[in-house]
Amino acid sequence: MAVDPADPVRPTGSTPVPPAYRNGPFLRYVAGQAVSVLGDQVWYVALSWTAVRVASPGVAGVVLAVSSLPRLVLLLVGGALADRYDPRRLMIGSDLGRLLVSLVAAAVAALSPGVPLLIAVALLFGLADAVFLPAAGTVLPRLLHPEQLASGNATTTMAARLALTLGAPLGGILVAAGGLALACVVNAVTFAVSVLALLWVRPRPAPPAAAPEADRRLTGALREGLGYLVRHRTLRILLLVSLLTNLGFVGPMNVGLALVSDLRGWGAAGIGQLLAGFGVGAIVGAAAMARLRLPERSTAAACAAVQGLAVFAVAVGGTRWFAVGCCVLVGMTSGPLAIVIVTVTQRMTEDRFRGRVTSVNTLANLGITPLAIAAMGALAGWVGTVPAFAASASLELLAAFACLLWLRIPAEPPRPAAPAAWRQPAAPGSAHSQRG
Q: What is the pLDDT of residue 401?
A: 92
Rounded CA gap, 399 and 307, in Å?
A: 10
What count of residues does the chain have? 436
Average pLDDT over residues 235-240: 92
> What are 164-182's pLDDT values in tens digits?
888 888 888 898 899 899 9
Domain boundaries, the chain: 19-205, 220-415
Domains 19-205 and 220-415 share a fold: yes
Cβ count near 382 (within 10 Å)? 9
pLDDT at residue number 253: 87
What is the pTM assigned to this prediction?
A: 0.81
Give the SS3 label for residue 74. helix
Q: How far is CA 16 from CA 24, 143, 148, 152, 190, in A?
A: 17, 17, 11, 16, 35
Q: Which of 51-65, 178-192, 262-276, 284-298 has the highest mean pLDDT?
A: 178-192
What pLDDT, on the 0 to 100 scale, is given for residue 98? 95
**More confident site: 96 or 373:** 96
The backbone region for 413, taken as left when phi is positive above 0, alpha when psi lies in -120 to 50, beta otherwise, is: beta
**Which CATH code of 2.20.25.90, 3.40.50.11400, 1.20.1250.20, 3.10.130.10 fits the domain covering 19-205?**
1.20.1250.20
Q: How confident is the model at residue 411 (pLDDT cuts 50, 70, 90)?
A: low
Q: Label residue 263 by pLDDT band (50, 70, 90).
A: confident
Question: Quick one: average pLDDT of 183-198?
Answer: 95
Instruction: Tell me which CATH homologous superfamily contains domain 220-415.
Output: MFS general substrate transporter like domains (1.20.1250.20)
Measure the CA dihedral 330/324/279/335, to 10°.
Answer: -10
CA separation for the pair 32, 92 (Å, rounded):
11
The closest alpha carbon to 36, from 94, 81, 87, belongs to 94
Mean pLDDT, to the nearest integer, of 125-129? 91
pLDDT at 2 over 80: no
Which of 49-63, 85-99, 142-156 has the largest mean confidence?
A: 85-99
CA-to-CA distance for 349 and 393, rounded, in angstroms? 30
Spell out the residues 6+ positions from residue 407 whose beta carbon is closer than 8 angstroms to its own: 297, 298, 301
DSSP class of residue 265 equals T
* Separation CA 280–CA 243 (nearest Å): 24
Distance CA 329, CA 26 (A): 29
| C-alpha separations of 33 from 139, 159, 163, 283 in Å | 12, 9, 9, 17
pLDDT interval class at 414 (50, 70, 90): low
- Give the Cα separation of 323 and 315 in Å (integer): 7
Note the pLDDT of residue 11: 43
Percent of the chain scoring above 90 in pLDDT: 41
